Amino acid sequence: MAKKVLVIGGVAAGMSAASQAKRRSPDTEVVVLESGLDVSYGACGMPYNISDPKREMQDLVVITAGQFREKRGLDVRLEHRAGEIDRSNKTVKGMSPDGNFEIGYDKLVIATGARAVVPDLPGIDLDNVYTFHTLEDGRRLKQALKKFDKPARVLLAGAGYVGLELADALASLGHHVTMIKRKPKLLSWMDQALEDRLLKELEKNSVDLVTGAGLDSIEKSGDLLLVKAGPNNFSADLAVVAVGIRPNSEIASAAGLDTGRFGEIMVDEELKTNDPDIYAAGDCADAFHVVTGKRAWIPLALRANRAGKIAGANTVGAGLKAPPVAGTQVFKLFSLEVAKSGLSLDQARAGNFEPVSIVIHASNRGHAFPGAGKMSVELVADKRSGRLLGGQIVAEEGAAHRIDTIAAALAAKMSAREFGGLDLAYAPPFGPTWDPLLVAATQLIKKLEA
């Protein structure tokens, strides 16, 4: 049993790990080193907080460092940036406001998360150029938006789901939003028929989208920013760079811990690294994919919380195994719910499957029930085995929870035929007798057996 557990990093994975270790072993000393001032907050709520001027970003704080100390008995040390792991002596060195520190451990959890990608290009460090990943990023952007007594022109670089959520928030406030993206597609994993609905939704809400144009440079001209993106030139009051994230894993790789393609720390099912006394969890670490069985880096909130909890429990001898991930995700884009779980068609091809896909468009409510809208569903299965590999849904209503049915089917390793035989709930306010998922499965089975 570890006498001292040291956790590098707070927020979802770090505080879950620390809390779980202390709960399971009250006599164990648990120390958390957090480089910033926030240790527990709902980062996924940041775009929605931006869209509500009456709320403060601070409202997203779940538990303060003081509450962790007082109520859970954790030694939480803010503004303590870990800089080096000495595996031989089992110590961590770093910097704090009081100077250098060195602290020992019996078991170590690395929960350093990820950071926003900041391209190395001219003008990226100018005033009114923001990233949007941490709570402090959210505070800065929200404060900046308060300066404008009329709609601002906002240049948003990047169009992943966080960027799209932010475009929704900014446009809903009346700001003029232009999104630029280097790649030609909006979302690389999305079927084009479904993506077309997102493109129409952006157009309907006056969000300009320019694809094939990545951010090249930013200049200041008076109060304006002049942004160059490929052959295009834009002027903006402020710019937000949301072109992706990367794991904060440098401290791990410098200590000789194995890392993957994106720099993510490689862990086993118990969240152990290649050092048996060091665990890693959250956005800095990898996972195993439920469909492929291979390693994957899919940084999402539930995995971070769950992995942190399991890693913390295992530092005090629990021996738990983390379940695989399906990459289940959902976001709102104005009136649309957009959801995905498992593999897309291209991802399935890359995974050496022989994929077959089907796209259907069906009503999301029963026949003649008022307020019905269109639900677009794509399902992907393997021609050789018949196994369901993934799915995507876009709808005004009903996508967010139906995607969980697909996620459960993937975890159960269902075939398309088994999925099509599910006894799903029916009532006219929620869907037709033949649910869109069952309609899609029926069509997919026909294509598989053709």
The single-letter DSSP state of residue 269 is T
133-177: pLDDT as tens digits? 999 999 999 999 999 989 999 999 998 889 999 999 999 999 999
Check if CATH label 3.40.50.11540 holds for domain 4-114+245-315. no
- Strand-pairing partners, residue 355, are 382
DSSP state of 257: -
One-letter amino acid of 288:
F
| pLDDT value, residue 367 | 87
Share of the chain above pLDDT 90, in %: 97
**Residue 284 appears among annotated catalytic residues:** no
Which pLDDT does position 154 carry in this prediction? 97
SS3 state at 405: helix
What are the DSSP calls for 411-444, one per residue?
A: HTT-BHHHHHT------TTT--SS-HHHHHHHHH
Strands (E), 14-113: 29-33, 75-77, 81-86, 91-96, 99-104, 107-110
Class of the CATH-defined domain 335-449: alpha beta
3 state SS of 175: coil
**Tens-place pLDDT, residues 114-129:** 999 999 999 999 999 9
Q: What is the pLDDT of residues 357-405, one digit of tens each?
A: 999 999 999 988 999 999 999 999 999 999 999 999 999 999 999 999 9
User: What pLDDT does residue 450 have?
Assistant: 85
For residue 97, is pLDDT > 80? yes
**How many residues are given for the chain?**
450
pLDDT band at residue 1, thresholds of 50, 70 and 90? low
Which member of 4, 24, 44, 397 is catalytic?
44
Q: Looking up tokens 């909130």, which residue turns up?
A: 301
**One-letter amino acid for residue 449 of the chain:** E
Closest to 214 measured CA to CA, from 180, 191, 238: 180
- 29-66 pLDDT, tens digit each: 999 999 999 999 999 999 999 999 889 999 999 999 99
Tokens of 398: 């009903």
Answer whether 403's CB lies under 8 Å from 340's CB: yes
Indicate if the pLDDT at residue 210 is higher than 80. yes
Q: One fold for both 4-114+245-315 and 118-241? A: yes
> What's the pLDDT at 17?
98
Helix (H) or strand (E) holding 67: helix 65-72
Rounded mean pLDDT of the chain? 96
- Ranges of each domain in the chain: 4-114+245-315, 118-241, 335-449
Count of other CB atoms within 10 angstroms of residue 219: 13
pLDDT band per the 50, 70, 90 thresholds, residue 2: confident
**pLDDT score for 28:** 97
The model's pLDDT over 307-343, given as tens digits with 9 standing for 90+, comes to 999 999 999 999 999 999 999 999 999 999 999 999 9
Task: Provide the pairing of β-strand 75-77 with 29-33.
Answer: parallel
Cα–Cα distance between 57 and 79 in angstroms, integer? 20
- Torsion from C-alpha of 192, 197, 200, 202, nearest 10 degrees: -100
CATH topology of domain 118-241: FAD/NAD(P)-binding domain (3.50.50)
Q: C-alpha angle 43/45/50, rounded to 5°?
A: 110
